[in-house]
Amino acid sequence: MTDTDEPVLVCKDLCISYYTRAGEIPAVVDFSLTVRPGETIGIVGESGCGKSTVAMAIMQHMGANGGIKSGSITFKGRDLTRLNEEELRSIRGSEISMIYQEPFASLNPSLKISTQLMEVPLAHENISKAEARERSVQILRDVKIADPERVMNSYPHQLSGGQQQRAVIAMGLLSKPSLLLLDEPTTALDVTVEAGIVNLIADISEKFNTSQIYISHNLGLILETCDRVFVMYSGEIVEEGTIKSLFNSPRHPYTHGLFSCIPLITTDKNAAPLKPIRGQLPLPFERPLGCYFGPRCDHFLQGVCDQAHFQMKTVGGEPDHRVRCLRYEEIDYKQVVSNTETKVSPEIGKRVLDVDGMKKYYEVKDSSLAALISGKSVRYVKANEKLNFTAHESETVAIVGESGCGKSTFAKVLMGLETGTGGEIRHNGKEISHIKVRDRSTEQIRSLQMVFQNPFDTLNPSHSIGGQISRVIRQFGVETDKKKVFDLVMTLLDTVKLPRDFYFRKPRQLSGGQKQRIGIARAFAGNPSIVIADEPVSALDVSVAAAVTELLMDIQREHKTTLLFISHDLSVVRYLSDRIVVMYLGHILERGTTAEVFAPPYHPYTEALLSAVPIADPDIIKRRIVLKGDLPSAMNPPKGCPFCTRCHRRIGDICDLELPSEQLVKDRHVIKCHIPVDVLSRIEPVIRKPGESDLNHA
């Protein structure tokens, strides 16, 4: 890879617009990029910044209302914007391929994988069917699919998410393209599955000599896969550079802001609170004059930054590092960093929640003929199996796990939407797992509230914000007088830092982050003692997520609430929780304080989870553990240890046959594994910073 190589792709001064009823929407305003052979380029940005538009422009597939206004896209010397459909067709799929965000949606549900793979070489090369088939099987083997013949003969729905994405990647690589576009290829996957795919992607360029453009919102993933990175904001590139120079010294205030929004696995909420970027991404037709980031920038200088639109500048000494900021040389981030406030950790109070052997089984009717004949027509899905843990006042307990681990089921039982099958959950000493929400007292309902995951779903689109919050207040009997209810809604809006006239707004007039704030206001309206937050920020952009997370923490501190934080993201968990419960297929595999869980002895699953977390810090050294296979279905779990099918530290048949018992490490740190604690203790830490023996003990 030298500079003399002819670049694979050159985008020059690209402007892309969508034309709608409301008028022209300039989605991308100024985009230039060069991809050299064998290089992996990352494009990072929040939703709405135009990164997917760029990918579609490169594929020349913009839909009926999109168009390239100006600029050129040169692929191996040919300008893609000037090719006709037939010429484009010969390039698509053979020289440029694309991998998509949702593997299941991008595979045709009614065609076998074999058909979908074989048609790629058949369409582009003059080869026989047998040859195409042979090549397809080989490529499936190359993307590390264990049984390619079976996968070939399967329909997409018969494969797991990870296998589907591997099949899509195989499809993209089949004709050995020179350029591979990956649009958030792992966003829809679980973290441990994601780790495998990321590993595969990182190897592609070497193995197939393919250049890649990797689009993601996750800086950590970019760091692990790319050579150079482009940061986009509101339709333009604001900073570009090699991974090393950009991650070590980000120059643009937006890039810098992004890094301050991500909870790093090395920090926590009290030592280094997140610093959200204020405001919101401007809508395409509301972009300000001058720097688009100006209104949100701490270093904005009137008369300088709000004049004309300006060009990228090369950072001195770093030929590949360019930035779109007039003041980048003047800003001293070190200065700003030293002003970091720290917050005081709240006093942990009395025990409020006791989960004692709680079980939740679902009955599933098996209506297949075989089941009917054998008489086993009812099966049980063990969504929660003997959960034990406690939570105290003002404490944040994180429940961590991937899909199907039973964390949401636990939330349902706790909230009274379902009743437990066995064991107990005691809230302030009173058993609640067998009482449906309707049968609970107003007092109990009020003191146990929830913040939901999906911002677009959490508020009823038909009713005004004010009406919805007022209803909660009246329902909980906090206030009944009209005037007082109204005043209380105003106070709550102030608490979640939203303008008071939101009272009259409908949910569709709010952004995702604002809706989530209303969701928080609603949960805290009755001053609850426990709030359970189910992935409250996972659907939000990083800069918004940081603000919502901080808000949640502040309100919690103030109200001395116990927060049960459900998440799959270990960096967020590490950042905000006091204690962690790690779940897998209905079982708690490890629980303890944050420090305990993040340091050896680990449960092998915790170890793998830690290794799978993408970390946006180039200084950190991570031990890579890639689990084999996919998550087993909760319908059909392994017999012995739930983790035995994927465990990298499996010790023998005992793992397959016997459910391990809980081993007490010390105090309240418990690991459910057959491997003795002292063996687990000798495992070296997964994450370390050079120069530190073990950051987790720091």
Partner 1 sequence: MTIQSMSKMPSVGFAAGMWRVIKSIALLRESWVGMIGAFLVLFWILVAVFAPLITQFDPNASIQPYARPGTLSASGSIFWLGTDHLGRDILSRIVWGSRTVLFYAPLATLSAYTVGILMGLMAGYRGGLVDDILSRISDIILSFPVLVLYIIVIATIGASGFNIVIAITFASSPGIMRIVRGLVLDLRNRDYVAAALTRGESDWRIMLYEILPNARGPLIVDACLRLGYVIITIGVLGFLGLGLPPPDPDWGGMVNETRQMAIVFPYMTLFPCISISSLILGFNLLADGLREISLRD
Partner 2 sequence: MVLLIIKRIGFMIFTMIVVSIILFLLLETGLTGDPATRVLGHFASDEQKELWRDQHGYNQPVVFRYTKWLGHFATGELGTSIRYKGPVKDVLLPRLWNTAILGFWTFAIMIPLSLTLGVLSGMKEGSFLDRVISVCGILTTSVPEFASAVFFSALFVFGLQWLPGTSSMTNGFEFKLLILPAMVLVVYDFGYVARMTRASMAEVMTSQYIRTAILKGLPYRQVILRHALRNALIAPFTVIMLQINWLLSGVIVVEFFFAYKGFGALLLEASLNNDIALLEACAMVAVVVAVSSQTIADIGYTFLNPRIRFS
- Least CB distance from residue 655 to partner 1, whole Å? 37
- Least CB distance from residue 691 to partner 2, whole Å? 46
**Cβ proximity of 282 and 269 under 8 Å:** no
Residue 461 touches which of partner 2, partner 1, none (Cβ within 5-8 Å per kind)? partner 1
- Touching partner 2, residues 199-238 (CB under 8 A): none
Residue 500 touches which of partner 1, partner 2, none (Cβ within 5-8 Å per kind)? partner 1
Q: Residue 659: which of 600, 584, 602 has the closest Cα?
A: 584
- Least CB distance from residue 466 to partner 1, whole Å? 8
Task: Give backbone dihedrals phi and psi of 233, rounded to 5 degrees, phi first.
Answer: -145, 125
Helices (H), 362-437: 369-374, 407-415
365: contact with partner 1 by CB under 8 A? no
Q: What is the dihedral sign for C-alpha 606, 516, 533, 420?
A: negative
- Least CB distance from residue 610 to partner 1, whole Å? 30
Structure tokens belonging to residue 606: 């915790």
- Least CB distance from residue 527 to partner 1, whole Å? 14
| Partner residues linked to 39 by β-bridges | none
Burial track 413-443 (b if 16+ CB lie within 10 A, e otherwise): bbbbebebbebbbbbeeeebbebeeeebeee
User: Interacting stretch for partner 2, rule CB under 8 A, among 59-67, 340-348, 534-542, 555-563?
Assistant: 59-67
- Touching partner 2, residues 131-160 (CB under 8 A): 155, 157-158
415: contact with partner 1 by CB under 8 A? yes
Complete DSSP assignment for 466-498: HHHHHHHHHHTTS--SHHHHHHHHHHHHHHTT-
Nearer to partner 2, 91 or 492 (CB): 91
Q: Residue 182: which of 202, 162, 163, 196 has the closest Cα?
A: 202
Number of H helices, E strands in the chain: 24, 26
State the residue for tokens 């950072």: 315
Which one of 217, 256, 299, 440 is in contact with partner 1 (CB under 8 A)? 440
* 337: amino acid identity, one letter: V
Radius of gyration of the CA atoms of the chain, in A: 27
Which one of 458, 495, 543, 567 is in contact with partner 1 (CB under 8 A)? 458
Nearer to partner 2, 95 or 393 (CB): 95
**Prior bond to 601 cis, omega within 30?**
yes
User: Interacting stretch for partner 1, rule CB under 8 A, among 214-222, 288-296, 500-508, 658-666?
Assistant: 500-508
Nearer to partner 1, 463 or 623 (CB): 463
* 398: amino acid identity, one letter: A
Mask for 109-128, x = binds partner 2 (CB under 8 A): xxx---x---xx--xx----
User: Interacting stretch for partner 2, rule CB under 8 A, among 16-24, 30-38, 92-100, 528-536?
Assistant: 92-100
User: Interacting stretch for partner 1, rule CB under 8 A, among 48-56, 348-356, 449-457, 638-646?
Assistant: 449-457
- Least CB distance from residue 351 to partner 1, whole Å? 23
- Least CB distance from residue 519 to partner 1, whole Å? 8
Q: How many whole angstroms separate alpha carbon 555 and alpha carbon 576?
A: 13
361: contact with partner 1 by CB under 8 A? no
Cβ neighbours for 180, distance < 8 A, ≥ 6 positions apart: 96, 97, 98, 99, 172, 173, 204, 210, 211, 212, 213
Nearer to partner 2, 101 or 384 (CB): 101
- Touching partner 1, residues 67-96 (CB under 8 A): none
State the residue for tokens 């992996």: 40
**Cβ proximity of 261 and 277 under 8 Å:** yes
Residues that bind partner 1 (CB under 8 A): 21, 415-417, 437-438, 440, 442, 445, 448-450, 452-454, 457-464, 466, 472, 475-476, 482-483, 486-487, 490, 500-501, 503-504, 519, 522
Residues that bind partner 2 (CB under 8 A): 59, 61, 64, 85, 88-94, 97-98, 100, 102, 105-111, 115, 119-120, 123-124, 155, 157-158, 168, 171, 367-369, 372
